[in-house]
Amino acid sequence: MEYAENKVICHCKHVTLADIDRVLHESQRFSDVEKEFAHVQEVTHCSTGCGGCHDKILEIISQRISG
């Protein structure tokens, strides 16, 4: 699945792919998808509204970790 940088992933909190990438880029190293998701969620507040974006965000993080 490919998203444009400005694609809104979390509509409730208006979090874009670029926002997620920015948070992931700040990480010193990737430990696992769930921990990175928790960090992204803490910074951006994504998936704290309706939760509909949860799986999309996990998939994006998983793709970023695996390269």
- Does residue 33 sit within a domain? yes
- Residue 3 domain-assigned? no
Residue 2 lies in a domain: no
What is the domain count for the chain? 1
CA distance 37 to 59: 10
Q: Is residue 61 part of a domain?
A: yes
Domain for residue 53, yes or no? yes
Q: What is the pLDDT along the chain (67 residues), one digit of tens a residue?
A: 567 778 999 999 999 999 999 999 887 677 788 999 999 999 999 999 999 999 999 999 999 888 7
pTM of the full structure: 0.85
Q: Cα(57)–Cα(5) distance, rounded to whole angstroms?
A: 14
* CA gap 38, 60 in Å, rounded: 13
- 30 domain residue, yes or no: yes
Phi, psi dihedral angles at 4 (to 5 degrees): -75, 150
pLDDT at 20: 94
Domain with residue 57: its CATH number is: 1.10.10.1100
In a domain, 1, yes or no: no
